Amino acid sequence: MTIDRRRFIKTTAAAGFGFGAGSKGAGARVRAAAVQARRSPDIVVVGAGTFGMWTALNLQRLGARVTVVDAYGAGNSRQTSGGETRGVRTSYGDRPHGRLWTRWANEAIRKWTAWDEMGRDRLLPRLFFNTGDLILREATSEYIENTRAHWNALGTPYEPLTADEVAYRWPWVRFENLGVALYEPAAGVVRARRAIESVARVFEEEGGTIRIARAAIGARNGARLETVAVEGGEAISAETVVFACGPWFPKVFPRLMGNRIRISIGHVFYFAVPPGDTRFAFPNMPSYGVPGCTGWPALPPDHRGFRVRTGGRVGDDPDTSDRWIPAESHERPRQILERHFPDLVGAPINETRACHYESSVDRNFIVDHHPDFNNVWLLGGGSSEAFKFGPVLGEYIARRMLGVENDPELAEGFRLKDEEFGSSGRRGRD
């Protein structure tokens, strides 16, 4: 798509590209009035999750007119980012693209902090909690060595700790035969559902439109998609269409994405912290990573509990799947408590979360054109990590879509790969 250069420069200068700039005052009112004056949006974004909402907000702040369409709405309980909390850390020694993700995660932490600073004036809920992150292992590994190499290369602050230092700082944490301990002080935890709700609120206040409806491919004209079909309503025309469908991708594009996206369900438990015991609550306990589990302390003010995530199960239809964790899966998180947090043994479960995740073949993000349409973008492949990168991903994607970001190496890394899960070659086209 093309946007009038004069309007682009004028809007960008007025709004800025930071999270605080242009969010209120005359500039926002002018943009809101411009959006309302035009019937057809420049861009339609299908999906109001991490990829969709952050991209929509940044596109709008770069001068585009944007409408978001989602079957359930921003921050709903069925979307991947609709859970309670997500960790934000920079330890990606287990990924071939780990150096980039480490750099972006550092930037995301700064942007989450900036968002909270901006949000105070607008009475938005606090999202980011700087807990720090503690990695514990019996011995070093390729993951540990690569993570430290990324940190050293990028100047990310971290502390190698001895077993005695861990015991001194957090005596309620137990790890037998501890050989490696790394502490990342800048890491933290973000309120996930509230974050998406907050981005959606700012997007609408600045002139964007969110429609609750199920969307699909509409009218085509050769290699151009002319409209987005909306169930129970009139089709929406747009110059550019973005599909950010998360675990719904195999349903929306079964031939193209059916074998390029794998769906799983993560199991998350929130254990009650004993009354008056502040050891397992923020700010006294860091987020943590032990073999087979990640988690973090209870966060104020609601104190949903001490978070333990222990794998999950194969995913199914995200529209109809049960979002509860069966009793036979409760034993594993209790074993984690017994092994590493003995003072929480026997603690009741406050609640559980069963969240859909969608992973790409190479576990990297997908930011690419649909191969059959020259005005359709595909955004996804979150691979259990995209939420924490939301502020950075949205900025990158918006700038790339509007032609102000042109990094061939990034574009190649985020390309929709030809490889598929369990087969080779392309199965066909949608």
- Cα separation, 127 vs 85, in Å, equals 9
- Cα separation, 361 vs 348, in Å, equals 38
Q: Which helix (H) or strand (E) holds 166?
A: helix 163-169
Could you please state the CATH topology (level 3) that the domain comprising 262-359 is classified under. D-Amino Acid Oxidase; Chain A, domain 2 (3.30.9)
**Tens-digit pLDDT profile for residues 357-408:** 999 999 999 999 999 999 999 999 999 999 999 999 999 999 999 999 888 9
Q: CATH code for 5-79+193-260+365-413? A: 3.50.50.60
**Domain boundary assignment for the chain:** 5-79+193-260+365-413, 133-185, 262-359
Is residue 430 very low, low, confident or very high in pLDDT (cuts 50, 70, 90)?
Answer: very low
- Cα separation, 293 vs 333, in Å, equals 8
Is residue 32 very low, low, confident or very high in pLDDT (cuts 50, 70, 90)?
Answer: very low
**Tens-digit pLDDT profile for residues 180-212:** 999 999 999 999 999 999 999 999 999 999 999
**Tens-digit pLDDT profile for residues 35-62:** 444 457 899 999 999 999 999 999 999 9
pLDDT above 90 covers what percent of the chain? 84
CB burial of residue 392 (10 Å; 0-12, 13-18, 19+): buried
Give the pTM: 0.90
* Predicted local confidence at residue 289, as pLDDT: 98
Same fold, 5-79+193-260+365-413 and 262-359: no
Tell which residue, 427, 390, 35, has the closest CA to residue 191.
Answer: 390
Q: What is the mean pLDDT of residues 125-137?
A: 97
